């Protein structure tokens, strides 16, 4: 394995008076090496200009110039705008971004990624998601003191770090108030994944708006999806089967809303004339080749959050001064499209 100017790992070992295996362990950051031996190897790497790869250079600089980003299912269309924000901000800073995708929110995989990233691979970590089952990941982050973090959408009280949050409660409340202004009183709610904190916040926002309007919520009007947003189809059908079905459905996210619309159309219902459907997220791309009317939704500024998270970490990493931790809450707004209209039913 040769570095620049033809310097090899053997040359480094000879200069540091250690074995080539010891040099390899230091370069790859594996196994335990005595601090004084490790320093001798790093000094030899610097003096000889040995640089087999980016990892070795990072060891000498103690910087990787890379930010690790852990998300749940990178292939989900939901992340389209967020990822664009991450990448655009990275282009405007001196940092590269490394994405780690956790399918199904698997906690063991998420923790494994975080442990890997914080082992000298990146300079900082962005963790997206509000899974209630993330406690082990949060505890690990809590115990890691020498790396900066940004948590997006998780306001874990036990973790003292930078947090960028959406006002999910307020956004859901706005959505229901919007439907109430349209004359709807029989408003149902299809909850998101019960393991997500944002799902509970949006349910609470729905309940608060209904309470403020003096409307008692029929417990059958609250349907809960499984971990798969496609179950929004079955939830919507359960609502349509009621003796007094709702005139409007507020869904925890646009993916669920897209399946609620499909269920309505498959039953011969018109959207929004017969049933109004509202989502949350204002997704640019909807799953499974959705071809229905454009969904009225609650917009959250995902692109800006992606931009801000990388910019925030870049500023902290390049500052010589201690910077205060950031806790920022982003507001939402209603985006009127094609799936909500005035209530025509008394």
15-42 pLDDT per residue, tens: 999 988 888 777 765 556 788 888 888 8
Same domain, 134 and 96: yes
The answer to whether position 318 is within a domain reads yes
pLDDT at 203 over 90: yes
Same domain, 177 and 283: yes
For the beta carbon of residue 270, count every other beta carbon within 10 angstroms.
Answer: 11
- How far apart (Å, rounded) are the C-alpha atoms in residues 275 and 246? 8
pTM for this model (two decimals): 0.80
pLDDT at 52 over 70: no
User: Which of these, 119, 23, 125, lies nearest to 68 by C-alpha position?
Assistant: 125
The answer to whether position 337 is within a domain reads no
Report yes or no: 294 and 337 within 8 Å, Cβ to Cβ: yes
How many domains would you assign to the chain? Answer: 3
User: Which of these, 256, 304, 306, lies nearest to 277 by C-alpha position?
Assistant: 256
Structure tokens at 4: 């620049």
The answer to whether position 106 is within a domain reads yes
The answer to whether position 211 is within a domain reads yes
- How far apart (Å, rounded) are the C-alpha atoms in residues 1 and 6? 9
The mean pLDDT value for 288-301 works out to 95
What pLDDT, on the 0 to 100 scale, is given for residue 216? 96
How confident is the model over 251-287, as pLDDT tens digits?
999 999 999 999 999 999 999 999 999 999 999 889 8
Same domain, 310 and 163: yes
The mean pLDDT value for 128-144 works out to 84
- How far apart (Å, rounded) are the C-alpha atoms in residues 168 and 160? 21
Q: Give every CB contact of residue 231 below 8 A, 6+ residues apart in sequence.
A: 225, 259
pLDDT at 121 over 60: yes
What pLDDT, on the 0 to 100 scale, is given for residue 220? 97
What pLDDT, on the 0 to 100 scale, is given for residue 61? 52
Same domain, 50 and 77: no
Same domain, 237 and 264: yes
For 111, the domain range is: 66-167+302-332
Report yes or no: 64 and 120 within 8 Å, Cβ to Cβ: yes
The mean pLDDT value for 169-188 works out to 98
Same domain, 118 and 154: yes
Same domain, 242 and 162: no
Higher per-residue confidence, 129 vs 9: 129
């Amino acid at each position: 394995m040769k570095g620049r100017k033809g310097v090899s790992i053997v040359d480094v070992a000879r200069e540091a008076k250690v074995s080539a295996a010891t040099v390899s362990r230091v370069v790859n950051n594996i196994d335990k090496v005595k601090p004084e031996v490790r320093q001798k190897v790093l000094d030899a790497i610097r003096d000889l200009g040995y640089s087999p790869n980016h990892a070795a250079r990072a060891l000498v600089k103690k910087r990787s110039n890379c930010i690790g980003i852990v998300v749940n299912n990178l292939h989900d269309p939901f992340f389209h705008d967020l990822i664009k924000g991450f990448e655009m901000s990275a282009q405007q800073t001196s940092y590269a971004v490394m994405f780690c995708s956790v399918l199904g929110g698997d906690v063991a995989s998420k923790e494994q990624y975080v442990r890997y990233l914080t082992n000298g691979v990146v300079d900082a970590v962005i963790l997206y998601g509000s899974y209630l089952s993330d406690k082990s990941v949060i505890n690990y982050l809590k115990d890691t003191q020498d790396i900066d973090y940004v948590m997006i959408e998780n306001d874990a009280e036990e973790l003292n770090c930078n947090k960028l949050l959406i006002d999910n409660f307020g956004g859901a409340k706005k959505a229901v108030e919007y439907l109430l202004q349209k004359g709807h009183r029989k408003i149902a709610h299809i909850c998101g994944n019960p393991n997500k904190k944002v799902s509970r916040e949006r349910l609470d926002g729905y309940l608060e708006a209904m309470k403020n309007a003096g409307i008692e919520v029929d417990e059958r009007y609250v349907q809960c999806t499984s971990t798969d947003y496609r179950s929004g189809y079955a939830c919507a059908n359960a609502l349509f089967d009621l003796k007094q079905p709702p005139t409007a459905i507020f869904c925890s996210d646009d993916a669920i809303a897209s399946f609620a619309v499909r269920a309505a159309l498959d039953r011969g219902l018109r959207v929004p004339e017969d049933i109004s459907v509202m989502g949350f997220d204002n997704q640019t791309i909807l799953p499974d080749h959705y071809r229905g009317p454009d969904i009225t939704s609650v917009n959250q500024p995902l692109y800006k959050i992606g931009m801000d998270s990388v910019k925030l970490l870049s500023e902290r990493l390049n500052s010589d001064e201690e910077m205060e931790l950031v806790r920022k809450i982003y507001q939402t707004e209603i985006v009127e499209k094609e799936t909500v209209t005035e209530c025509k039913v008394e």
